[in-house]
Amino acid sequence: MNTNSNIYTIIYTTIIVALVAAILAFVSQGLKSKQEANEKADTISQMMTAAGFATKADLQKMGNTAVLAKYAEEIDNAFTVGLDGKKIDDLDLDQVYSPKDLKKQNYKIKDGSDAEIPVFIFKNGVTVVPVYGAGLWGPVWGYIAFEPSSNTIKGAYFDHESETAGLGAKIKDDPAFQAEFSGERADFTTANVFDIVKGGAPRNADGTSVIDNKIDAITGATMTSNGLEAAIDTWLGAYAAYFKIAAPQGGDCCGDGACEEGDDCCENKNAEEE
Amino acid sequence: MDAKLKETILNPIFKGNPITVLVLGICSSLAVTVTMKGALVMALSVIVVCGISSLILSLLRNTIPGRVRIIVQLVVVAMMVILVDQILKSFEATYAIDKQLSVYIGLIITNCIVMGRIEAFALGNKPWPSFLDGVANGAGYGLILLIVAFFRELLGSGTLFGVDVLGWLGYTPNNLVILPPFALILLGCIVWVQRSVQKDLQEK
């Protein structure tokens, strides 16, 4: 047979491509549930890392079933809120938002339309909310945990799809970067809820970070740092109305003096005034 | 086993190693050799992709239209790479490592070793030798990957396969070793060693 005729070539390539497509579609369907289970356990372990229950590496060692069980033990309440901060609907306690779900809501937040963004509250009162945005090469996302009824950040965990290893990938791989978030405060009164600053965030005389809404950016990863900052500003901005209701004191602290004695934020302010 | 088949298997592992002699697949060998685990998964993936793609294309070799043969190769290799990626994503044990390797599993398709061996060997040989050639070239690639990863993980993190090896001695990990340039230096050293052992590789 003449394998170089046009007809043969067209028929041959058509069959090969259709066959390969069928095999891939079949395998993809067959493995979908397993992949989604892995993704869900991964998402949950990211939230629990942010909330400070364990480190990501430890959760990974525990295996999917144990992670799900621990989450079921710790989670207290999960629901969605609108951009006006009002609760829209309850979520099932085993339901989480995968990066794909976050992407959908990200468009809605930017449109200012009917976004339904999730809030996860653990039994110890820690509130976890997601953030999502564009890094340099692909999406970046993460979870930020707040102390009970407060705008003080307890911890954060970030992940990415394809940032540069050793540079932008540090948002995920560098524990020091994520640790910088702990103890800082989100400022829900402005559009710049949180800043990732080039050239160094303000420091106290003893070298510790000033408790404000600023942390250091990653050297050599300006685009990823900017992308992550935009993601945090967009999403925490969307939660601002919710936090003004859920953490009124934390939100207004130092603004109109509605804070208590011994509050970190107020101590800083007092120190400045003196 | 006849001598020719033995040569097919042994040649790519040392004398004609795809990385150190043919200088193919350098990019990924710099990227995925930070940890032994990553290097091992990458090596096994390339062995599977290379071996099975060679086998399939060798079986099809007499039917493939000459003008579109590269495209047919590409379709088959792409299918194998996607299958490997999907399977790695499906198992609990490999999900995290697949995430860590991220784009590099998908980029196996651009690894010159795979298409190079298909074009140079599988399209002109019977299925069994082609399969062995693919596997052996993948193994030659994997061997170098593991050697580089051994030094990088040991000196860069003080661990091997994530197990603490040097930490208890008070070893401070060297951050330069984690960065890609050090992989290139190590590769250079391996090429140097190989060339001083194997004199016929030296240019006159």
Contacts of A63 in chain B (CB under 8 A): 92
The reported pLDDT for the residue numbered B112 is 87
- Residue of A176, A147, A149 lying closest to A158 (CA atoms): A176
Q: Best mutation site among A3, A157, A173 for testing chain B: the one with the most B CBs within 10 Å? A: A3
Are the C-beta atoms of residues B19 and B187 closer than 8 Å to each other? yes
SS3 A219: coil
Chain B residues whose beta carbon lies within 8 Å of the beta carbon of residue A20: 75-76, 78-79
Specify whether the backbone of A52 is left (phi greater than 0), alpha (psi in -120 to 50) or beta. Answer: left
- Site from A31, A49, A61, A157 to mutate, B interface, most B CB atoms within 10 angstroms: A31
Alpha-carbon gap: A20 to the closest alpha carbon of chain B (Å): 7
Would the CA dihedral through A193, A194, A200, A204 be positive or negative? Answer: positive
B180: closest CA of chain A, how far (Å): 9
Cα–Cα distance, A42 to A38 (Å, whole number) = 6
Distance in angstroms between the alpha carbons of the first and the last residue of chain B: 35
Give the pLDDT confidence score for residue B126 in this predicted structure.
Answer: 93
- What's the gap in Å between the CA of A31 and the closest CA on chain B? 6
Do the beta carbons of residue B54 and residue B116 sit within 8 Å?
A: no
Nearest to A12 among B65, B76, B180 (CB): B65
Cβ-defined contact of A8 to B65 (cutoff 8 Å) = yes
pLDDT attached to residue A44:
93
**Is residue A270 less than 8 Å (CB to CB) from chain B?**
no
Distance of CA B163 to the CA centre of its chain: 24
User: Nearest CA to A212 among A130, A272, A142, A257?
Assistant: A272
Question: Is A190's Cβ below 8 Å from some Cβ in B?
Answer: no
CB B77 within 8 A of CB B118: yes
Instruction: Give the CA distances from residue B106 to residues A56, A111, A178, B82, B127, in Å, rounded to whole numbers and listed in that order.
Output: 25, 34, 28, 7, 25
How far, rounded to the nearest angstrom, does the alpha carbon of residue B97 sit from its chain's CA centroid? Answer: 16
Q: What is the pLDDT of residue B123?
A: 92
Residue B139: name the closest of B43, B11, B14 by CA: B43
> Nearest residue on chain B to A6, judged by CA atoms?
B65
pLDDT in tens, B145-198: 999 999 998 988 888 887 888 877 888 888 788 888 899 999 999 999 998 988
Q: Please compute Rg for chain A using Cα positions.
A: 22
- Which residues face A118 on adjacent strands? A80
Tokens at B83, concatenated: 């299958």
Alpha helices, DSSP H, located in chain A: 6-50, 56-62, 64-74, 99-111, 170-173, 175-179, 222-246, 248-252, 264-273
Contact between A16 and B86 using a beta-carbon 8 Å cutoff: no
Is the predicted ipTM greater than 0.95, yes or no? Answer: no
**Cβ contact, residue pair B99, A42, below 8 Å:** yes
Q: Residue B62 pLDDT > 50, yes or no? A: yes
Rounded to a whole number, what is the distance in Å from the CA of B96 to chain A's nearest CA? 8
Check if A35 contacts B (Cβ < 8 Å).
yes
- Name the residue among B65, B75, B90 with its Cβ closest to that of A9: B65
- Does residue B21 or residue A254 have the better pLDDT? B21
Distances (CA, A) of B144 to A23, A260, B37, B50: 33, 62, 14, 16
Closest chain A C-alpha to B89 CA, distance in angstroms: 6
Q: Name residue, tokens 């004609």.
A: B16
Distance CA(A260)–CA(A246), nearest Å, equals 17
Chain B residues in contact with A60 by the CB 8 A cut-off are 96
Confidence of residue B65 (pLDDT cuts 50, 70, 90): very high
User: How close does chain A come to B61, measured CA to CA in Å?
Assistant: 11
Pairing status of strand A75-81 against strand A117-122: antiparallel
Residues of chain A in contact with residue B90, where contact means CB-CB under 8 angstroms, are 31, 34-35, 38
Band of pLDDT at residue B30, cut at 50, 70 and 90: confident
Partner residue facing B92 (CB), from A3, A28, A64 = A64
Angle between helices B69-90 and B36-60 (to 10 degrees): 140
Other CB atoms within 10 Å distance of the CB of residue B177: 19
Per residue of chain A (274 residues), give pLDDT as tens. Answer: 788 899 999 999 999 999 999 999 999 999 999 999 999 999 999 999 999 998 888 888 888 889 999 999 999 999 999 988 888 889 988 889 988 899 999 999 988 778 899 999 999 999 999 999 999 989 999 999 999 988 899 999 999 988 877 788 889 888 889 999 998 988 888 888 898 988 878 888 887 788 888 888 888 889 999 999 999 999 999 999 898 888 876 544 444 444 444 444 444 444 444 4
Q: What is the mean pLDDT of residues B37-52?
A: 94
Closest to A177 in 3D by CA, of A139, A151, A209: A209
Q: What is the mean pLDDT of residues B23-40?
A: 87
**pLDDT confidence of B141, banded at 50, 70, 90?**
very high
Q: Look at the pTM and tell me if it is higher than 0.90.
A: no
